[in-house]
């Protein structure tokens, strides 16, 4: 009798010249041996059952994200999840974790310096004229002293791995980074669907995050000693990350509030409208952009914000996380200076490297960019989500010429980086596993203490060859395992 058909054969699996996180030259890496063995032991039908079970679990748990389309308006979509986890060995993770803590410490020192004496500018390490162009620099924040000198309490840094195995920081998200709830939910789904995998491996748990987030926020309370009232401020159910806002509030036992639930009193304190009248709020984890937060100071027609919120924050009567103005350190030009900032503030060498970045502001670096435009990725300083970007190797002649012109006109606004060969992870397709590109977003919490998530959110580009990992554009996600091999 012939053996039943096996779904996945690792010898057949190809990842070309990309670094694969689970498989190296036809054989599973050590930390991935058990998962790969388990998967290749499954028959077609069993694999299909597993996928269906995961899909059903996600629908039943109501794990969704909201997308807005012209035709259908706002719709709540099931979260795309791939069953094969991304696996990182604990020893490697320790180094990454240390690198992230170092980086975020320096970023917070940088922001605090920028809103105070600007020593880094005076010492000639960071060109002050870049601030003038930064859309995220808030003059309203100059001179403010948030608790612990920390501005970016929640940071989501995107990591990518190049073909030679080096892990780079691609960008830091310091405004309202999202995705952490999906990291937590992915683990939940994985445990529901494939519990046997957890018996075989020592996988570090991820669920400390909500407690650490609460502690991070509570430590900011302007009324120490009291039981602080921490709230999560959401733009509402039509926001693409509403699921996450509700999820985090629920996990922390905090109130989820909308702008209209809050009011700033004559005493410059923030209150929420409860069934028995007004009640004081101490800490606001705001998931609304700076510019929509307070119509008195920023966009006057913002219906999402709370009039007077900035007043209350400046008076020290309420803590805002992240602090307004923290975004100044997440523009793409500032990014290029983070390794210098680490050296400047901490007198340490960066543990995690930046992607090599050419700053068009400097003649020599600009010349290099203009000469090698067809091999580089060019990014404007203050656009996110891949808008206004040039991908040299894929661009037409005319587009290259257009960007060369743009760079010459406004060199300060552009940086360029080599095309990275993003690493891959086996991902389920119809009947087998195929290599798909991934990134990794760990989250770093800072106030009294600094915490890093155990792993982070792995996002995967589900289309063959694609490196676009955004869930709104055909991206999916994976459970991320930090595996302890010594245990």
Partner 1 sequence: MLSRVAEHIYWLARYAERAENTARLINVNTHLQLDLPKHLRPGWKPLITITGCEDPFLRRAMEANEKNVVRFLIGDFENPSSIIQSLKWARENGRTVRDFFPRDGWEQINNLYRIASAEIYLGISPRGRYNYLKQVILGVQALSGMLSGTMSHDEGYTFLLLGRYLERADMTTRIVDVLSTHLEEQSGDIEYYEGALWMNLLESLSGYQMYRRVMQQAPDWDPVISFLFRNREFPRSFRYCLGELAGAVAPLRNNERVKERIERLEELIGEFDPDRVSGSDLHQLIDDLQRMLGEIHNEIGIAWFNYPLPEESQRQAS
Q: Is 272 in the site for partner 1 (CB under 8 A)?
A: yes
Q: Is 246 in the site for partner 1 (CB under 8 A)?
A: yes
Stretch that binds partner 1, among 94-102, 255-263, 367-375, 407-415 (CB under 8 A): 255-263
Q: Is 39 in the site for partner 1 (CB under 8 A)?
A: no
Tell which one of 169, 256, 319, 334 touches partner 1 (CB under 8 A): 256
Q: Is 315 in the site for partner 1 (CB under 8 A)?
A: no
Q: Is 249 in the site for partner 1 (CB under 8 A)?
A: yes
Which residues, including other chains, have CB under 8 Å from residue 461's CB and lie 6 or more apart? 436, 437, 438, 467, 468, 469, 474, 475
Q: Is 67 in the site for partner 1 (CB under 8 A)?
A: no
Stretch that binds partner 1, among 141-149, 159-167, 251-259, 459-467 (CB under 8 A): 251-259
Q: Of the two residues 93 and 242, which places its CB atom closer to partner 1 in the complex? A: 242
Q: Is 448 in the site for partner 1 (CB under 8 A)?
A: no
Q: Is 59 in the site for partner 1 (CB under 8 A)?
A: yes
User: Shortest distance, CB of residue 72 to partner 1, whole angstroms?
Assistant: 14
User: Shortest distance, CB of residue 181 to partner 1, whole angstroms?
Assistant: 11
Q: Of the two residues 59 and 431, which places its CB atom closer to partner 1 in the complex? A: 59
Q: Of the two residues 237 and 389, which places its CB atom closer to partner 1 in the complex? A: 237
User: Shortest distance, CB of residue 310 to partner 1, whole angstroms?
Assistant: 22
User: Shortest distance, CB of residue 330 to partner 1, whole angstroms?
Assistant: 27
* Contacts with partner 1, 201-240, as mask; x by CB under 8 A: -------------------------------x----x---
Q: Of the two residues 252 and 452, which places its CB atom closer to partner 1 in the complex? A: 252
Q: Is 60 in the site for partner 1 (CB under 8 A)?
A: yes
Q: Is 254 in the site for partner 1 (CB under 8 A)?
A: yes
Q: Is 274 in the site for partner 1 (CB under 8 A)?
A: yes
User: Shortest distance, CB of residue 272 to partner 1, whole angstroms?
Assistant: 6
Q: Of the two residues 236 and 418, which places its CB atom closer to partner 1 in the complex? A: 236
User: Shortest distance, CB of residue 80 to partner 1, whole angstroms?
Assistant: 17
Q: Is 61 in the site for partner 1 (CB under 8 A)?
A: yes
Q: Is 387 in the site for partner 1 (CB under 8 A)?
A: no
Instruction: Give the whole-angstrom CA distance, residue 477 versus residue 436.
Output: 11
**Cβ-contact 155, 453 below 8 angstroms:** no
Which residues contact partner 1 (rule: CB under 8 A)?
59-62, 76, 232, 237, 242-243, 245-250, 254-258, 260-261, 272-276
């Amino acid at each position: 009798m012939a053996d039943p058909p096996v779904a996945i054969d690792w010898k057949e699996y190809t990842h070309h010249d990309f670094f694969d996180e689970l498989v190296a030259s036809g054989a599973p890496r050590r930390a991935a041996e058990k998962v790969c063995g388990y998967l290749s032991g499954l028959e077609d039908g069993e694999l299909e059952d597993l996928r269906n079970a995961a899909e059903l679990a996600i629908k039943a748990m109501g794990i969704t994200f909201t997308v807005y389309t012209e035709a259908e308006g706002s719709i709540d979509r099931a979260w795309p999840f791939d069953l094969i986890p991304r696996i990182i060995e604990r020893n490697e993770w320790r180094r990454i974790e240390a690198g992230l803590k170092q980086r975020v410490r320096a970023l917070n020192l940088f922001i605090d310096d920028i809103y105070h004496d600007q020593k880094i500018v005076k010492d000639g390490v960071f060109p002050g004229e870049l601030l003038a162009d930064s859309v995220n620099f808030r003059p309203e924040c100059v001179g403010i002293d948030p608790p612990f000198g920390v501005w970016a309490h929640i940071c989501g840094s995107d990591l990518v791995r190049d073909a030679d195995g080096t892990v780079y920081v691609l960008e830091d998200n310091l405004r309202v980074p999202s995705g952490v709830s999906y990291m937590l939910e992915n683990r939940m789904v994985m445990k529901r669907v494939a519990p046997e995998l957890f018996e075989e491996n020592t996988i570090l748990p991820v669920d400390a995050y909500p407690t650490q987030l609460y502690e991070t926020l509570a430590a900011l309370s302007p009324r120490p000693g009291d039981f602080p009232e921490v709230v999560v401020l959401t733009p509402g159910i039509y926001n693409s990350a509403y699921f996450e806002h509700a999820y985090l509030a629920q996990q922390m036992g905090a109130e989820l509030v909308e702008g209209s639930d809050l009011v700033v009193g004559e005493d410059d304190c923030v209150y929420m409208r409860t069934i028995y009248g007004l009640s004081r709020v101490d800490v606001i984890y705001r998931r609304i952009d700076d510019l929509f937060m307070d119509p008195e100071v920023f966009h006057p027609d913002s219906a999402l914000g709370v009039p007077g919120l900035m007043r209350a924050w400046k008076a020290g009567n309420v803590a805002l996380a992240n602090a307004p103005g923290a975004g100044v350190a997440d523009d793409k030009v500032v990014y290029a200076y983070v390794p210098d900032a680490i050296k400047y503030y901490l007198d340490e060498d960066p543990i995690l490297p930046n992607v090599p970045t050419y700053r068009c502001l400097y003649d020599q670096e600009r010349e290099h960019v203009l000469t090698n435009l067809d091999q580089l990725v060019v990014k404007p300083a203050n656009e996110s989500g891949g808008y206004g970007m040039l991908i040299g190797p894929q661009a037409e002649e005319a587009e290259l010429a257009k960007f060369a012109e743009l760079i010459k006109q406004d060199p300060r606004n552009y940086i360029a980086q080599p095309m990275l060969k993003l690493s891959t992870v086996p991902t389920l397709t119809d009947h087998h596993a195929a290599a798909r590109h991934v990134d990794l977003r760990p989250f770093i919490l800072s106030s009294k203490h600094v915490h890093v998530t155990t792993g982070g959110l792995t996002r995967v580009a589900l289309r063959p060859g694609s490196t676009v990992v955004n869930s709104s554009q055909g991206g999916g996600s994976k459970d991320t395992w930090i595996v302890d091999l010594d245990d």
